[in-house]
């Protein structure tokens, strides 16, 4: 039975199966606009896409993951001008920052990460095809627009009523959209090519319609065509991209290439709220990974908190949720330690595998794995993980099977247990008490060890024993 996932277009759970004869699963994800640090709302989408890719790979599917970089638009051009940098220097800096944050969150790098500027010739070719086929028109100022009424099945993805579809002014999350208010024949039309404006500075490129730059939507159509072909398996993005961005991508791609069924499956993740409120600059809740690190949260705790809700439900991101993530990770690690002890392994031997080895099986973690395969039910899978850890086996052989299964489930979730994270440093007197207790335990003086443990507890510290050492955690 293949992995099942809800598809926005058909509104059904559908199997994820590669359609290419070589068996490679093509996955296109709309990437970041690199004009500042990405915030946790952006990262929730990227973490979910990463987890889906990991689940497919765990299922034995070879994935080709393409995620673009938007390095030219109004925001990047404005940002570069304000920073006094060239557009290329400005966007390179923010792209590198994005990569560092992704690595901290344990996101696998995509196989291809195309940039919009490097694909301007591809975008121009696609616009030429749209003009030639009667799906686009050139306005007086040299801008080119897509003619929405030329595409009879426009709107098939987002299921919006015709009045919403008739304008490009709000997106599917109900937010104002950067509509291109120039010489459109109809409010439903959108820009494919924007003629050069004074505020663009040096950022303009030649085209058959004069100097200018591409509209935003066309970049994903051109880059997916170049790197995955006219049709491919899965397209992903946040729910706010469903309309108009993804709707426009379908229209551009299918009208330019003539191939129907641009993407076979559409994966949209619900939006993120912060402390019950919409994320916005004015509320100051567009938290970045650095903001959360400054408050003492590790990237792995953030990843856990972002994964904690089902992808189809809006997630309310709270500091209480981060606390819960910290406790859950600590509980997971205690469970791992208990399993490792029974299995006769040290933590060093519990290095999560970097590739999935089906021959090792899932042990009692089978139920967790099945949850992941059923519409990417991460909360359900985590529940099954804790259920399995609550009753560790006494038999070392069984424990070894569970260790292998757990390592595979954690690889699919991108969760790394025992990752270093900012933990309060125990004061020297606590450390020395703990070392005395460890020595007492090693020499089997359990009475002394218990007395020292109580003394540590009195100072507000728990000592957690492992086979090969101990940890100190505040109570």
Residue ranges in contact with Zn ion by CB under 5 A: 30, 220
> C-beta of 220: minimal distance to Zn ion in Å?
3
DSSP helix/strand/coil, 406: helix
Q: Which is nearer to Zn ion, 252 or 342 (CB)?
A: 252
Q: Return the axis-axis angle of helices 366-373 and 378-390, rounded to nearest 10°.
A: 180
Rounded CA separation 2/17 (Å): 7
Nearest CB to Zn ion, comparing residues 66 and 102: 66
Quick one: 192 or 300, whose CB is closer to Zn ion? Answer: 192
* Cβ neighbours around 421 below 10 Å, total: 14
For residue 63, the SS3 value is strand
Cβ-based nearer residue to Zn ion, 238 or 309 = 238
> How many CB atoms neighbour CB 469 within 10 A?
10
Beta carbon of residue 193, minimum distance to Zn ion (angstroms, whole number): 17
Q: How far is the CB of 136 from Zn ion (least distance, A)?
A: 18
Helix axes 299-307, 319-343, angle to 10 degrees: 100
Q: How far is the CB of 109 from Zn ion (least distance, A)?
A: 18
Q: How far is the CB of 237 from Zn ion (least distance, A)?
A: 6
Q: How far is the CB of 246 from Zn ion (least distance, A)?
A: 7
User: Do the Cβ atoms of 15 and 6 come closer than 8 Å?
Assistant: no
241/289 with CB nearer Zn ion: 241
Beta bridge partners of 5: 14
Q: What are 455's two structure tokens?
A: 């003394």
Q: Nearest approach, Cβ of 214 to Zn ion (angstroms)?
A: 12
Q: Using alpha carbons, list the distances in angstroms from residue 265 to 10, 185, 249, 325.
A: 9, 32, 14, 31
Beta strand residue intervals within 196-244, DSSP E:
212-214, 232-238
Looking at the Cβ atoms of 106 and 224, the one nearer to Zn ion is 224
CB of 93 to Zn ion, least distance (A): 22
Q: How far is CA 153 from the centre of its chain?
A: 30
Phi/psi of residue 75, nearest 5 degrees: -70, -40
Residue 427, φ and ψ in degrees, nearest 5: -65, 160
Q: Output the CA angle 245-116-34, nearest 5 degrees.
A: 80
Least CB distance to Zn ion at residue 188 (A): 19
Nearer to Zn ion by Cβ, of 30 and 440: the residue is 30
CA distances to 300, 451, 465, 474 from 471, in Å: 18, 18, 7, 10
Closer residue to Zn ion in complex, CB, 104/126: 126
Instruction: Pick between residue 241 and residue 325 the one whose CB is nearest to Zn ion.
Output: 241
Query: What whole-number distance in Å separates Cα of residue 80 and Cα of residue 433?
Result: 55
């Amino acid at each position: 039975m293949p992995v099942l996932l809800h598809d926005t277009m058909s509104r059904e759970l559908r199997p994820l199966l590669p359609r290419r004869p070589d068996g490679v699963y093509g996955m296109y994800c709309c990437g970041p606009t690199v004009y500042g640090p990405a915030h946790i709302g952006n990262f929730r989408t990227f973490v979910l896409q990463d987890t889906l890719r990991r689940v497919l790979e765990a299922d034995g599917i070879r994935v080709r993951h393409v995620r673009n970089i938007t390095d030219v638009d109004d925001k990047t051009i404005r940002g570069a001008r304000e920073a006094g940098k060239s557009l290329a220097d400005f966007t390179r800096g923010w792209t590198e920052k994005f990569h560092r944050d992704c690595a901290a969150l344990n996101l696998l790098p995509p196989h291809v990460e195309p940039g919009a500027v490097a694909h301007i010739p591809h975008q121009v070719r696609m616009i030429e095809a749209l003009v030639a086929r009667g799906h686009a028109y050139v306005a007086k100022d040299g801008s080119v627009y897509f003619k929405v009424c030329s595409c009879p099945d426009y709107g098939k993805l987002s299921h919006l009523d015709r009045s919403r579809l008739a304008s490009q002014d709000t997106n599917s999350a109900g937010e104002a959209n950067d509509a291109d208010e120039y010489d459109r024949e109809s409010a439903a039309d959108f820009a494919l090519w924007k003629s050069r404006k004074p505020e663009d500075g040096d950022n303009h490129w030649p085209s058959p319609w004069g100097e200018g730059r591409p509209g935003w939507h066309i970049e994903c159509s051109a880059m997916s065509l170049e790197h995955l072909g006219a049709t491919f398996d899965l397209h992903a993005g946040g729910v706010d991209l469903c309309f108009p961005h993804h709707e426009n991508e379908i229209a551009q791609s299918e009208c330019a290439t003539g191939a129907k069924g641009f993407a076979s499956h559409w994966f949209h993740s619900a939006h993120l709220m912060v402390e019950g409120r919409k994320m916005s600059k004015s509320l100051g809740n567009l938290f970045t990974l650095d903001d959360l690190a400054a408050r003492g949260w590790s990237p792995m705790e953030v990843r856990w908190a972002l994964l904690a809700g089902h992808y189809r439900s809006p997630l309310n991101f709270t500091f209480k949720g981060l606390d819960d993530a910290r406790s859950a990770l600590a509980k997971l690690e205690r469970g791992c330690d208990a399993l490792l002890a029974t299995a006769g392994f040290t933590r060093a031997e519990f290095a999560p595998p970097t590739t999935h080895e089906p021959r090792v099986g899932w042990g009692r973690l089978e139920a967790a794995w099945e949850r992941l395969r059923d519409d990417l039910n991460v909360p359900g899978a985590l529940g099954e993980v804790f259920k399995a850890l609550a009753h560790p086996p006494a038999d070392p052989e069984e424990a070894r099977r569970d260790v292998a299964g757990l390592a595979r489930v954690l690889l699919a979730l991108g969760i790394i247990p025992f990752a270093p994270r900012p933990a309060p440093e125990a004061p020297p007197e606590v450390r020395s008490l703990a070392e005395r207790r460890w020595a007492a335990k090693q020499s089997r003086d359990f009475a002394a060890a218990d007395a020292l443990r109580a003394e540590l507890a009195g100072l507000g510290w728990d000592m957690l024993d492992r086979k090969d050492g101990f940890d100190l955690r505040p109570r």
